[in-house]
Amino acid sequence: MTIALNGPLLLVGAGKMGGALLEGWLARGLDPRSVFIQDPALPEGIGELVAAHGIVAGAAPRLPQPPAVIVLAVKPALAGEVLSVIAPSVGAGTVVLSIAAGRTLESLSEPLPETCAVVRAMPNTPASVGEGITVCVANAHVSEPQRQACETLLAAVGEVVWVDEEALMDAVTAVSGSGPAYVFHLVESLEQAGIEAGLPAELAARLARGTVAGAGALLKHSEQDATTLRTNVTSPNGTTAAALEVLMKEDALKRLLARAVAQAAKRSRELSS
């Protein structure tokens, strides 16, 4: 899918997530002449990419016309200050797409023109390798073409899902935003368990990493759900069944994850209030 917008795109912040988005856009054919980057100090790799494509970047790049989309990819603590600075560049047809974690539609809209279209998005770190999933919610001023433009831009780094209720974003953050860390901890734990079972550390690490990565790839490409895939690999009275008897006893793992997600959602609400 080639990306085409009806005006310039202003990327504010070209750090890890902003840089991943930029790479995805360029890979999908977005005209680099339509991209402008507001960032006073580009990371080394992104600086080289920007230079190679002749993209205009700097602390305050001058755009030929109001941007079609402003992508806000700065740290949440800086979002309000940055939005106040860029507010004068917002045009009647501009949509502000924020990936600043925890910033509500209300807080994002406050420094902007009263009827500004704003989309709040929650991506996750697998976006850096094009395997992310992003959940979005829009305010009442976002038109269908603006919604489609935001979805097209975010789809460059993975799957995109929309919700109608902003209140769901705290749970979204707890499940998909923080979720990769849970999976990485699973790998750490599986690796340690392998060592305790007698495997050399290097082999345990390789097996744990490869198993989780492979299972994730199988889950992504299979039409079967996770329950069916688990059942398929579990022979009656076999080794997997013996392990699952421990993990699933009294819903131990389910209950632990439920507590973890609830705690993360609670913290998300605290940070966004």
H or E element, residue 230: helix 226-232
CB 136 within 8 A of CB 235: no
Contacts for 173 with CB less than 8 Å, ≥ 6 apart: 101, 102, 122, 264, 265, 268
What is the amino acid identity at position 265?
A: A
- The answer to whether 73 is a known ligand-binding residue is yes
Q: Are 117 and 141 spatial neighbours (Cβ–Cβ below 8 Å)?
A: yes
16 is in an annotated binding site: no
The token duo for 225 is 């759900």
Q: Are 89 and 114 in contact (CB under 8 A)?
A: no
Q: Give dist(CA 105, CA 117) in Å, integer.
A: 10
- 14's CB contacts (< 8 A; 6+ apart) are 22, 37, 39, 42, 43, 46, 50, 57, 73
Q: Show the tokens assigned to 248.
A: 């699933």
CA 84 centroid distance within chain:
24
Q: Is 75 annotated as a binding residue?
A: yes
Q: Is 76 among the annotated ligand-binding positions?
A: yes
Structural tokens at position 103: 């910033």
Q: In what order do the strands lie in the sheet with 69-72?
A: 56-58, 35-38, 9-12, 69-72, 95-98, 117-122, 132-138, 158-162
Binding site for NADP(+): which residues?
73-76
Binding site: which residues?
73-76
